[in-house]
Amino acid sequence: MPKNKTQKKKILSDLGSKISQAKTAVFVNFSGIPVKEINTLRTDGKKQGVSYTVTKKTLFKKALAEAGFKDVSNDSFKGEIAAIVSISDDIVPAKLVHNFAKTQEKMKILGGIFSGKMVGAPEIVALAQLPSKDELLAKMVGSLASPLSGFVRVLQGNLRGLVYALNSIKEKKSV
C-alpha cells in the first residue's frame, strides 16, 4: 500500500535525523535474504544499540541529501536497501553487518558513513575488522600488568633463593 505525503515526510525526517546524528551508518543490499534472518539481525542490533531501517531508495537518497550527503549517485544503491545506524558506537554497525554477511552471502555491503564522511564497502569491512573498545582495553590492561607481574616474579625468585639457602644451611647444621 502506497504511503501518503505526511507518512513519507515523517519517514524522511526520522531517517534524516538518524543519519545526521550517526557516528556510523552502514548501507546494505539485503535482496533475497529471508525475513526470519533479517529479524535476527534486527534483534541483535537492538541489543547493541543499533537501528535497522528499510525504506525506498528515493526517500533514502533524499534523507542523505538532507543530512548533507548530496553527492550520492543513483548507481550507489542497487536492490533492496537498508541502513544500519549507531548513534553511540563507531564500530558496532560495521561488525554486526560484516559478521552477518559471513553467514548470508546475499547480504552486500554497499558503503556507509563514518566520522561524517561517505565511505565505500572496503572501508566498512576494514572498520569491522578492528578490535572493539573492550578488546582494546583488555589488551591495554594486559600490557600494563605484564611488567608488574614480571617484577613480582623476580622479587619472589630472590626470596625463594634465600629460603632455599637457609634450608640448606639448616640441613647441614642438623646433620
- pLDDT recorded at residue 80: 83
Q: Which residues contact 86 (CB under 8 A, 6 or more apart)?
A: 22, 23, 24, 25, 48, 49, 50, 51, 92, 93
Contacts of 99 (CB under 8 A, 6+ apart): 128
d(C-alpha 91, C-alpha 102), whole Å: 17
Q: How many CB atoms lie within 10 A of CB 6?
A: 8
What are 76-118's pLDDT values in tens digits? 677 788 889 888 888 888 899 999 988 888 888 888 888 888 8
What per-residue confidence (pLDDT) applies to 76? 67
pLDDT band at 20 (very low <50, low <70, confident <90, very high): confident
pLDDT tens string 21-66: 888 889 998 888 888 988 988 888 889 888 888 888 888 888 888 8
* 12, 73, 90 from 65: Cα distances, Å: 10, 11, 22
Predicted pLDDT at 62: 83
Where does the pLDDT of residue 73 fall: very low under 50, low under 70, confident under 90, or very high at 90 and above? low
Instruction: Give whole-number Cα distances, 23 to 4, 6, 26, 56, in Å.
Output: 31, 28, 10, 22
